[in-house]
Amino acid sequence: MTRKLIKACLAAVALSTLPLAAQAADVPVKAPYFKNAPMISYYNWSGFYAGINAGYGWGKSNWDLPAISNKPKGILAGGTLGYNWQAGSFVYGIEGDWDWANVKGDTACLVAATCETKNTWLATVRGRVGYAFDRWLPYITGGGAYGNVKASINPGIASASKNELGWTAGLGLEYAFLGNWTTKIEYLYVDLGKFDAGPAPVVNNVTFKENVVRAGLNYKFSGPIFTRF
């Protein structure tokens, strides 16, 4: 009799817990909370940097006298200095560079002569605005350009050169591939205006416009490699 009573009590207790178990199954399980959980880090573009660049240029030069046009082309290479400041995903910067250049072209002119235009060096100072996708930075750029333009009537008939101030604009893509090292490729349109290459009193305006495609390698000196924003 006692054994039957104990079994009946246990069965009643088991039946009374079934609704509670069903309710517990419906309660969502909360994820564990970690007070010092790490945040996602993104590449930090802020800081000073320096690097090298090299590329290819091609363009057009018009002469007033004789009335000809030639198409200079060739290579250029040099160094770069700059600074970036990052605010959220936007990156603002200023960049300067100086390149040795051998961009030249000639065409037949006068009698048994050639008219040649040559760019011997090119420097730019530009602003940059980009939008960072972590280690990728597409950007637009624009500013001033300064370079040497030489006009010659060969062989040895006449020659003149001048350092010309102009403007430049373009766009590029930069990638941070290892620590503070970044690489980039960019396109620039350069207009160095025109200068009088003729001996007095002859006026011979010579223009020089150039397209530049170049690659670069930079090293960022300051700022942590990663940031949170």
Name the more confident of 97 and 41: 97
**193-213 tens-digit pLDDT:** 999 988 767 788 999 999 999
Tokens 């939008």, residue located: 131
Q: How far apart are CA 108 and CA 113, in angstroms?
A: 6
Q: How far apart are CA 1 and CA 7, in angstroms?
A: 10
pLDDT of residue 52: 98
**44-91 tens-digit pLDDT:** 999 999 999 999 999 999 999 899 999 999 999 999 999 999 999 999
pLDDT of residue 31: 47
Q: How far apart are CA 105 and CA 151, in angstroms?
A: 10
pLDDT of residue 35: 53
For residue 76, which of 212, 173, 218 has the smallest C-alpha distance? 212
Mean pLDDT, to the nearest integer, of 115-144? 97
pTM of the model: 0.80
Complete domains list, the chain, with CATH: 45-227 (2.40.160.20)
Angle 124-126-164 from CA coordinates, rounded to 5°: 35
Percent of all residues in the chain with a pLDDT value above 70, rounded to a whole number: 79
Is the pLDDT at 39 greater than 80, yes or no? no
Is the pLDDT at 117 greater than 60, yes or no? yes
Is the pLDDT at 10 greater than 60, yes or no? no
Backbone angle region of 6, left / alpha / beta, with phi > 0 → left and psi within -120 to 50 → alpha:
alpha
Is the pLDDT at 152 greater than 50, yes or no? yes
Note whether 202 and 161 are within 8 A (CB).
Answer: no
Taking all residues of the chain, what is their mean pLDDT, rounded to a whole number? 86
Q: How far apart are CA 106 and CA 63, in angstroms?
A: 11
